[in-house]
């Protein structure tokens, strides 16, 4: 009697199970794209590029923004990012430019003066010194 025979059989069964599961996962990922013509792409609401002959239907995902549909826009740190349906990546779409304050409202440039934004101290009444 060989004590390694059951262990060898169990290992072969495990390898066969991994091969079956791996092959079925590869088969699922190898399916044809759903929107492979202009008619099906535009009917689903996506953009068709005639030069590339490709539909912009790839959803986006990364650890910073999470998931998103093609054309979706997200805002982070003063920048707008859009989900690019052709590449499946987030691309910089625009930035927010801060507008400078007018000199009379800018606290750094405004000096308090009696005639300026700070009122002079009262000379009589309850608040007088």
Give the Å distances, CA to CA, from 61 to 13, 45, 72, 73, 95.
36, 20, 12, 13, 21
Contact 81, 68 (CB under 8 A): no
Query: Does residue 75 lie in a domain region?
Result: yes
* 101-122 tens-digit pLDDT: 666 665 555 555 555 555 555 6
E strands, the chain, where? 48-49, 54-55, 60-62, 66-68, 73-76, 79-84, 89-95
Q: Do residue 67 and residue 107 come from a single domain? A: yes
User: What's the half-sphere exposure (Cβ side, CA atoms, 13 Å) at 100?
Assistant: 5
Q: Do residue 68 and residue 89 come from a single domain? A: yes
Query: Does residue 128 lie in a domain region?
Result: no
Domain of residue 20 covers 16-55
Query: Does residue 6 lie in a domain region?
Result: no
Query: Does residue 66 lie in a domain region?
Result: yes
Q: Do residue 62 and residue 107 come from a single domain? A: yes
Find, among 59, 55, 83, the residue nearest to 71 by Cα. 83
Number of domain units in the chain: 2
Q: Do residue 95 and residue 75 come from a single domain? A: yes
Query: Does residue 121 lie in a domain region?
Result: no
What was the pLDDT predicted at 36? 86
Q: Do residue 96 and residue 108 come from a single domain? A: yes
* 15-65 tens-digit pLDDT: 656 555 554 444 444 444 688 889 999 999 999 999 988 999 999 999 888
Between 31 and 86, the more confident residue is 86
Dihedral sign from CA coordinates of 61, 67, 71, 76: negative
Between 29 and 70, the more confident residue is 70
pTM of the model: 0.49
Q: Do residue 89 and residue 78 come from a single domain? A: yes
What was the pLDDT predicted at 24? 47
Query: Does residue 126 lie in a domain region?
Result: no
Query: Does residue 124 lie in a domain region?
Result: no
Q: Do residue 72 and residue 91 come from a single domain? A: yes
């Amino acid at each position: 009697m060989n004590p390694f025979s059951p262990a060898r059989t169990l290992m072969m069964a495990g390898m066969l199970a991994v091969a079956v599961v791996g092959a079925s996962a590869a088969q699922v990922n190898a399916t044809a794209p759903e929107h492979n013509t202009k008619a099906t792409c535009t009917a689903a609401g996506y953009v068709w590029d005639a030069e590339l002959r490709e539909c912009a239907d790839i959803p986006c995902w990364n650890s910073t923004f999470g998931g998103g549909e093609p054309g979706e826009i997200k805002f982070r740190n003063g920048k707008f990012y859009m989900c690019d349906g052709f590449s499946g990546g987030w691309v910089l779409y625009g930035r927010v430019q801060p507008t400078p304050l007018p000199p009379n409202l800018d606290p750094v440039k405004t000096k308090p003066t009696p005639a300026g934004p700070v009122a002079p101290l009262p000379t009589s009444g309850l608040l007088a010194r």
